[in-house]
């Protein structure tokens, strides 16, 4: 009797110890999770707080003179008193606009036009370089309703600019899309084919083992090395134009390839062997087995892996530095061999600008990039949920 | 096996079609070089793209040294047409250019930049001499008696000069690829050390082995001088956080951030436009770009871009570039810049010596 009590106490003690250990383990896991969540919340709070104000931009209502005199000297298009507060970046485009739209000649139009970045920052209550006289002028215009903060469409329809009020992300966004298309077209077929060969056809010998180890190794290599590789192979050897979307896409394809190969192989391996055997049993050839059965079943996994690989490529900057895509490129590319820049590169360039109005634009560009990445990753999750087969 | 051959063929075919894609006419000007000239060059490039029907030139900010390397790599159209520099081309670089077939270069000076030694605005104003700064950043300095060189022992400013505050020495400055760093080394360090016996006597004793002591400019690497990337904004941010620190960057950054950082006076002079262009402020330098004249006829709009850059509208006394921090050249030198570009004045090795 007493022996049993003693034994019970012993197990209880051990049990309590085990429970304690479990609690500790669980607690530290929760702590790690909440720490990560806190970082994330802080980061989002910081970026959104800085970036949301870039979505509006100051505009001023002025009379714009379209005539010979202002065609010759664009400053004459508006009244002298406005010259310091209306963006010169907009004014200077007037002569070409007049040439392209002759119907506006010899008219005076009352238009909302872009104000300078300093006026914009003043209205937003941020540091600016306006003189007191100009501040009074803006205050007065505001009373008359001739100054407003309205949606900053320039941010989405313009390329980079040295005048913060005109700077936008269009060229970088379009550049990113071009680069991703090249990356997808090159990396997906090559990656999937390689994986199919290695998984379904290749004999298990020394050579394939070496290749396997190398592919796994490549996936972990610092991305800047792919930039050096891209410079040596694509630019110096094949003569692909420097800074072009093509060379960027090819370089990022090199970087994405190992990721696609590895995920594709994992997806193929997850297809049960019985499926293949059933196909062989019905007399299917190896090609038919892969094409009709294994590949379709592995497709959700392949797509998920590829999308995540592409999202990774989209946020990459280091290799692009080497191949000349971190540059001042305000024109939107119209072809794959045109010079292009990408969103993360644009963010990097703006972060280095000395003019303060770029701070909010940098944050806003980060928000755009983040939401793109988020939507790509959700697409990956959705595809997996939608088409996944459970065995 | 067939699959394998197919895969290899596909890869090869992709590569070759890419290779064949390339030979198109040069529609766009390619510019590389100094991160200090970059704001002015990209401003001009944008002006050029917006007010003419030419395409906007591409500008890569590679640092002066990196730009020279790319510029001098060859004469083909796949090499840059123009390189910006915050220091003059070195004789070594000129020879590299010549070796690679780049013989016809024009040098165009566009203005000045003062190198500011800045600190957080929370500090009191400070006046430093070039000698004090040199002693603070050099890797080897003379000992107290001035007879021999020792590894830099100074970690507080008052150790260098009792009149200076008891404040740790810490510098955030540009890395080795930067023209700002070259200019800082030339104007602050070499300027003094080439006249200091304690350095030069080592050079005289063994000219081969001790070449670096002829004009000593080695910056210490014991963590007191922190190279901070080509991104000058980063330096400004570090200065705000670290009140003890000094930052080294160009005047335009000082101007833009004058609400957050202030400049130390150097030998009693503040870096202000007049003091810089007159040469009173001792740490100032000229900004320039180099034109590959062989490309002028082959690249659309290149001459027009250069003409715009040297026009009064841009680099003049009230030009647009002065609004963003360029310090204009004296009238006669601006006239000379316009003359040099119109006649494509050829740069010679003798000019650089």
In chain B, what are the domain boundaries? 26-113+286-352, 114-284
Helix boundaries (H) for chain B: 2-20, 38-51, 64-71, 91-99, 130-137, 157-160, 179-184, 191-193, 197-205, 232-241, 251-256, 273-277, 302-309, 312-315, 320-323, 331-343, 349-352
**Per-residue confidence (pLDDT) for residue B16, from 0 to 100:** 46
Residue A283 CB-half CA count within 13 A: 0
**Is the fold of B26-113+286-352 the same as that of B114-284?**
yes
- ∠ CA B27-B33-B36, nearest 5°, is 125
A352/B230 Cβ within 8 A: yes
**Per-residue confidence (pLDDT) for residue A360, from 0 to 100:** 92
How far does the CA of residue A173 sit from the closest CA of chain B (Å)? 17
Q: Are the CB atoms for B200 and B194 separated by under 8 Å?
A: yes
Question: Nearest chain B Cα to A242, which residue?
Answer: B78
Domain final residue, candidates A117, A150, A183: A150
Rounded to whole angstroms, the Cα distance separating B170 from B247 reads 9
Q: Is the predicted pLDDT of residue B26 greater than 60, yes or no?
A: yes
Task: Classify the C-alpha dihedral A363-A369-A375-A381 as positive or negative.
Answer: negative
Task: Classify the C-alpha dihedral A323-A324-A330-A334 as positive or negative.
Answer: negative
**CB-closest option in A92, A196, A239 to B22:** A239
By percentage, how much of chain B surpasses pLDDT 70? 92
**Per-residue confidence (pLDDT) for residue A355, from 0 to 100:** 78
Q: Are the CB atoms for B287 and B34 separated by under 8 Å?
A: yes
Q: What is the pLDDT of residues A333-344, one digit of tens each?
A: 999 999 999 999
Residue with the two structure tokens 């202000």: B272
**Per-residue confidence (pLDDT) for residue B24, from 0 to 100:** 47
Chain B residues near residue A162 by CB distance under 8 angstroms: 39, 42-43, 46, 324
Cα torsion through B156, B160, B162, B168, rounded to 10: -10
Q: Report the pLDDT averaged over residues B210-237.
A: 85
Pair (A377, A245) in one structural domain: yes
Q: Is the predicted pLDDT of residue B207 greater than 90, yes or no?
A: no
Q: What is the pLDDT of chain A when averaged over all its residues? A: 91
- Farthest-apart Cα atoms in chain B, separation: 82
- Provide the pLDDT confidence category of residue A385 given band limits of 50, 70 and 90: confident
Q: Is the predicted pLDDT of residue B179 greater than 80, yes or no?
A: no
Higher pLDDT, A53 or A4: A53
Q: What is the pLDDT of residues B87-114, one digit of tens each?
A: 899 999 999 999 999 999 999 999 998 8
Q: Is the predicted pLDDT of residue B19 greater than 90, yes or no?
A: no
> Domain B114-284: which topology?
D-Maltodextrin-Binding Protein; domain 2 (3.40.190)
Q: Specify the DSSP class assigned to residue B156.
A: B
Pair (A216, A145) in one structural domain: no
Report for A56-70, B7-21, B270-284: range of highest mean pLDDT: A56-70
Q: Report the pLDDT averaged over residues A53-77.
A: 91
- Provide the pLDDT confidence category of residue A261 given band limits of 50, 70 and 90: very high
Question: Which of B42, B59, B247, B261 should we substitute to test contact with A (largest number of A Cβ atoms within 10 Å)?
Answer: B42
How far does the CA of residue B21 sit from the closest CA of chain A (Å)? 8
Q: What is the pLDDT of chain B when averaged over all its residues? A: 87
What CATH number should be reported for the domain holding residue A301? 1.10.3720.10
A240/B22 Cβ within 8 A: yes
A354/B232 Cβ within 8 A: yes
Q: Is the predicted pLDDT of residue B43 greater than 70, yes or no?
A: yes
What pTM value is reported for the model?
A: 0.79
CATH class of the B26-113+286-352 domain in this structure: alpha beta
Report for A130-134, A179-183, B227-231: range of highest mean pLDDT: A179-183
How far does the CA of residue B191 sit from the closest CA of chain A (Å)? 29
**Per-residue confidence (pLDDT) for residue A204, from 0 to 100:** 87
Pair (A202, A315) in one structural domain: yes
Q: Is the predicted pLDDT of residue B3 greater than 70, yes or no?
A: no
Q: Report the pLDDT averaged over residues B69-80.
A: 92
Domain final residue, candidates A97, A118, A150: A150
How far does the CA of residue B32 sit from the closest CA of chain A (Å)? 9
The parent domain of residue A283 ranges over: 170-387
Chain A residues near residue B320 by CB distance under 8 angstroms: 88
Q: Is the predicted pLDDT of residue B1 greater than 50, yes or no?
A: no
- In DSSP terms, which residues pair with B262 in a beta bridge? B119
**Per-residue confidence (pLDDT) for residue B4, from 0 to 100:** 53
Domains held by chain A: number:
2
**Per-residue confidence (pLDDT) for residue B181, from 0 to 100:** 87
| Domain presence at residue A11 | no
| Domain presence at residue A44 | no
| Domain presence at residue A259 | yes
Chain A residues near residue B251 by CB distance under 8 angstroms: none
> Could you tell me if A72 lies within 8 Å of chain B, comparing CB atoms?
no
How far does the CA of residue B16 sit from the closest CA of chain A (Å)? 8
Rounded to whole angstroms, the Cα distance separating B171 from B121 reads 16
B231/A92 Cβ within 8 A: no
As to burial, measured by CB atoms within 10 angstroms (0-12 exposed, 13-18 middle, 19+ buried), residue A1 is exposed
| Domain presence at residue A268 | yes
Q: Report the pLDDT averaged over residues A77-96.
A: 90
A246/B19 Cβ within 8 A: no
Which of A30-34, A57-61, B230-234 is the least confident region? B230-234
**Per-residue confidence (pLDDT) for residue B23, from 0 to 100:** 42
Q: Is the predicted pLDDT of residue B22 greater than 50, yes or no?
A: no
A238/B60 Cβ within 8 A: no
Chain A residues near residue B255 by CB distance under 8 angstroms: 354
**Per-residue confidence (pLDDT) for residue A141, from 0 to 100:** 93
| Domain presence at residue A39 | no
Q: Is the predicted pLDDT of residue B2 greater than 80, yes or no?
A: no
Q: Report the pLDDT averaged over residues B260-284.
A: 89
Chain B residues near residue A89 by CB distance under 8 angstroms: 46, 50
Q: Report the pLDDT averaged over residues A300-326.
A: 91
**Per-residue confidence (pLDDT) for residue B97, from 0 to 100:** 95
Question: Nearest chain A Cα to B76, which residue?
Answer: A239
Q: Report the pLDDT averaged over residues B165-174.
A: 92
> Could you tell me if A308 lies within 8 Å of chain B, comparing CB atoms?
no
The distance from CA B55 to its chain's CA centroid, rounded to whole angstroms, is: 26
**Per-residue confidence (pLDDT) for residue A343, from 0 to 100:** 95
Q: Are the CB atoms for B39 and A354 separated by under 8 Å?
A: yes
**Per-residue confidence (pLDDT) for residue A34, from 0 to 100:** 96
The Cβ of residue B348 has, within 10 Å, a number of other Cβ atoms equal to 11
Predicted ipTM > 0.90: no
The helix (run of H) or strand (run of E) holding residue A63 is: strand A56-66
Q: Is the predicted pLDDT of residue A117 greater than 60, yes or no?
A: yes
Pair (A222, A362) in one structural domain: yes
Q: Is the predicted pLDDT of residue A89 greater than 70, yes or no?
A: yes
**Per-residue confidence (pLDDT) for residue B9, from 0 to 100:** 52
| Domain presence at residue A18 | no
B233/A354 Cβ within 8 A: yes
Q: Specify the DSSP class assigned to residue B73.
A: T
How far does the CA of residue A354 sit from the closest CA of chain B (Å)? 6
Pair (A144, A293) in one structural domain: no
Q: What is the pLDDT of residues A198-250, one digit of tens each?
A: 999 988 889 999 999 999 999 889 999 999 999 999 988 998 988 999 999 99
| Domain presence at residue A323 | yes
How far does the CA of residue A390 sit from the closest CA of chain B (Å)? 30
Cα torsion through A185, A186, A187, A189, rounded to 10: 70
Chain A residues near residue B47 by CB distance under 8 angstroms: 92
**Per-residue confidence (pLDDT) for residue B25, from 0 to 100:** 53
Residue with the two structure tokens 């680069």: A179
**Per-residue confidence (pLDDT) for residue A150, from 0 to 100:** 92
């Amino acid at each position: 009797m007493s022996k049993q009590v003693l034994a019970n106490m012993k197990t209880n003690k051990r049990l309590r110890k085990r429970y304690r250990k479990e609690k500790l383990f669980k607690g530290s896991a929760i702590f790690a999770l909440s720490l990560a969540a806190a970082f994330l919340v802080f980061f989002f709070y910081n970026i959104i707080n800085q970036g949301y104000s870039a979505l509006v931009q100051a505009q001023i209502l002025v009379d714009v003179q379209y005539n010979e005199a202002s065609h010759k000297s664009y400053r004459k298009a508006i009244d002298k008193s406005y010259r310091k507060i209306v963006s010169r970046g907009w004014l200077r485009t007037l002569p070409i606009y007049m040439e392209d739209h002759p119907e506006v000649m010899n008219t005076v139009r009352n238009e909302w036009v872009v104000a300078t970045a300093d006026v914009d920052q003043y209205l937003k209550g941020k540091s600016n370089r306006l003189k007191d006289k100009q501040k009074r002028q803006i205050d007065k215009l505001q009373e008359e309703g001739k100054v407003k903060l309205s949606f900053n469409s320039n941010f989405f329809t313009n390329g980079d600019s040295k005048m913060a009020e005109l700077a936008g992300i269009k060229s970088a966004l379009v550049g990113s899309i071009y680069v991703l298309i090249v990356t997808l077209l090159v990396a997906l077929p090559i990656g999937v084919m390689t994986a199919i060969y290695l998984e379904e056809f290749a004999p298990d010998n020394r050579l394939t083992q070496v290749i396997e180890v190398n592919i796994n190794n490549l996936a972990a290599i610092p991305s800047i090395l792919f930039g050096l590789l891209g410079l040596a192979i694509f630019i110096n050897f094949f003569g692909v134009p420097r800074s072009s979307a093509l060379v960027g896409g090819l370089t990022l394809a090199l970087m994405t390839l190992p990721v696609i190969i590895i995920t594709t192989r994992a997806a193929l391996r997850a297809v049960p062997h019985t499926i293949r055997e059933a196909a062989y049993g019905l007399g299917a050839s190896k090609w038919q087995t892969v094409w009709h059965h294994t590949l379709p079943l592995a497709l959700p996994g392949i797509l998920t892996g590829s999308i995540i690989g592409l999202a990774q490529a989209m946020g990459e900057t280091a290799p692009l530095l080497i191949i000349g895509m971190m540059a001042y490129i305000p024109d939107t590319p119209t072809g794959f061999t045109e010079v292009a820049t990408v969103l993360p590169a644009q963010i990097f360039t703006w972060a280095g600008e000395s003019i303060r109005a770029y701070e909010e634009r940098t944050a806003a560009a980060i928000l755009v990039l983040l939401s793109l990445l988020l939507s790509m990753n959700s697409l990956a999750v959705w595809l997996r949920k939608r088409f996944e087969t459970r065995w | 096996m067939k699959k394998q051959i197919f895969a290899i063929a596909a890869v090869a075919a992709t590569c070759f079609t890419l290779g064949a894609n390339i030979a198109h006419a040069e529609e766009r000007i390619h510019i590389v070089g100094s991160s200090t000239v970059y704001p002015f060059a990209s401003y001009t490039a944008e002006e050029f793209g917006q007010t003419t029907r030419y395409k906007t030139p591409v500008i890569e900010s590679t640092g002066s040294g990196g730009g020279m390397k790319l510029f001098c790599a060859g004469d083909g159209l796949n090499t840059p047409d123009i390189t910006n520099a915050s220091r003059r081309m070195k004789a070594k670089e000129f020879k590299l250019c010549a070796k690679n077939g780049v013989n016809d270069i024009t040098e165009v000076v566009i203005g000045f930049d003062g190198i500011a030694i800045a600190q957080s605005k929370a500090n009191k104003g400070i006046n430093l001499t070039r000698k004090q700064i040199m002693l603070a950043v050099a890797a080897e300095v003379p000992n107290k008696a001035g007879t021999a060189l020792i590894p830099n022992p100074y970690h507080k400013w008052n150790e260098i000069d009792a009149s200076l505050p008891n404040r740790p020495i810490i510098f955030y400055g540009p890395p080795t690829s930067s023209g700002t760093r070259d200019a800082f080394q030339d104007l602050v360090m070499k300027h003094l050390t080439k006249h200091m016996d304690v350095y030069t006597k080592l050079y005289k004793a063994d000219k081969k082995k001790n070449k670096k002591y002829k004009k000593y400019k080695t910056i210490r690497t014991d963590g007191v001088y922190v190279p901070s990337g080509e991104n000058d904004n980063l330096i400004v941010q570090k200065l705000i956080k670290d009140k003890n620190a000094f930052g080294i960057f160009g005047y335009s950054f000082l101007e833009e951030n004058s609400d957050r950082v202030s400049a130390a006076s150097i030998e009693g002079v503040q870096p202000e436009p007049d003091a810089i262009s007159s040469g009173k402020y001792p740490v100032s330098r000229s900004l320039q770009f180099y034109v590959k004249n062989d490309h002028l006829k082959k690249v659309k709009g290149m001459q027009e871009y250069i003409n715009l850059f040297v026009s009064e509208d841009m680099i003049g006394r009230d030009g647009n570039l002065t609004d963003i921090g360029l310090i204009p050249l004296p009238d006669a030198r601006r006239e000379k810049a316009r003359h040099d570009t119109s006649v494509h004045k050829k740069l010679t090795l003798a000019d650089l010596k």
